[in-house]
Amino acid sequence: MAVYTDVSFEELKLFLGAYNLGEPHVFKGIAEGVSNSNYFLQTSTGSYILTLYEVRVEAEDLPFYLGLMEHLAQRGIPCPIPVHADDGRVTGILNGRPAAVLTFLDGVSLRRPTPDHCHLAGQAMAQFHAAGSHFDQHRNNALGPDGWRQLVNDCAASADSIVPGLRGVIEEEVSVLHSLWPRDLPGGVIHADLFPDNVLFVNNRISGIIDLYFACNDALAYDLAVTLNAWCFETDGAFNVTNGRAMIAGYESQRKFTPGERACFPVLCRGAALRFLLTRLYDWINHNPAALVRPKNPKEFLRRLRFHRAVTDFRAYGF
């Protein structure tokens, strides 16, 4: 996590000329996000995040991401709000990158969420899903089953050098999940990456849902499967069913899962574990030491995947 594109104060001033944000008083690169450059900006009108989008694919999807944030914020979800320039645009170009100014949200992310935090996260996710319905843009999940197959192809040759036997596991898993994967669950806009880093708390209440740059249209229950993978496992790899039960109860306090969603939940959890196993594996293999980011170890999601493969009944998660 680092700043890739350096922005001087003079360049910032020029860029901010298109906005009505007042005089900048604080401007500091922050170690947030993996693929974009982020600056903390304080002006006479408030606190903001300035983001420079470094990756082409994200730039193409910016109208979706920024439009979604605005849509959700208008419906009470505490996500960052893109600031409009004087001419109405929400993106500009800064040092050759598309860039946006978003409102800054107070709050801290947790490393070891308690069951109470998991309950709140589940509840917030269901509210996110409800608020996202009727959003009029659409984005396919690039990291769904077809994306996994591509990642397996890219990583297969090196996988065994990371963990002996890993190639066989991912090749088999992607093929099994292709046939098991449910295609007709209730769908909508999902966050798709609601790890603890992306939920901010102030005084044990959620103050922010951030980093919507994987948001897409997919099965709603898959979103909870991602979050359960991210929040409900101990560092030693064990599933924390107390956290899982709290998260599911939080979600279902807003919207009950259908019988179909419940029945498919173990498969969705396998898919979510495979998705993060594969992207972390890809980043591990293709790590560029100059990228100023330390890749995350893929092994922890291999452990989660093994757990989910052994689950025979959705009730194991705390339903």
Give me 181's structure tokens: 């994967």
1 makes contact with a second copy (CB under 8 A): yes
235 makes contact with a second copy (CB under 8 A): no
24 makes contact with a second copy (CB under 8 A): yes
Nearest to 187 by CA among 133, 232, 225: 133
Residue 315 C-beta: closest distance to a second copy, Å: 31
2 makes contact with a second copy (CB under 8 A): yes
Distance CA 255, CA 73 (A): 20
Residue 157 C-beta: closest distance to a second copy, Å: 23
Residue 213 C-beta: closest distance to a second copy, Å: 17
110 makes contact with a second copy (CB under 8 A): yes
DSSP class of residue 26 equals E
Span of 6-14, 80-88, 93-101, 298-306 interacting with a second copy by CB under 8 A: 6-14
Distance CA 192, CA 224 (A): 9
157 makes contact with a second copy (CB under 8 A): no
Distance CA 93, CA 197 (A): 27
Residue 67 C-beta: closest distance to a second copy, Å: 26
Size of the site for a second copy (CB under 8 A): 34
3 makes contact with a second copy (CB under 8 A): yes
Go through 140-164 and write b for each residue having 16 or more CB atoms within 10 A of its CB, e for each that does not: ebebbbeebbebbeebbeebeebee
Specify the DSSP element, H or E, that contains 73. Answer: helix 62-74
The secondary structure of 275-319, three-state, reads HHHHHHHHHHHCCCHHHCCCCCCCHHHHHHHHHHHHCCCHHHHCC
Among 23, 116, 146, 313, the residue binding a second copy under the rule CB under 8 A is 23
Longest pairwise C-alpha distance within the chain: 60
89 makes contact with a second copy (CB under 8 A): no
134 makes contact with a second copy (CB under 8 A): no
> What is the footprint of a second copy within residues 174-233 (CB under 8 A)?
202-203
> What is the footprint of a second copy within residues 27-56 (CB under 8 A)?
27-32, 40, 42
The residue count of the chain comes to 319
Give me 287's structure tokens: 């790590």
Contact indicator for 15, 8 with CB cutoff of 8 Å: no
Closest to a second copy by CB, 106 vs 160, is 106
Closest to a second copy by CB, 23 vs 160, is 23
Closest to a second copy by CB, 199 vs 278, is 199
106 makes contact with a second copy (CB under 8 A): yes
Among 80, 107, 250, 266, the residue binding a second copy under the rule CB under 8 A is 107
Contact indicator for 102, 153 with CB cutoff of 8 Å: no
Binding site for a second copy (CB under 8 A): 1-3, 8-12, 23-32, 40, 42, 106-112, 202-203, 289-290, 292-294
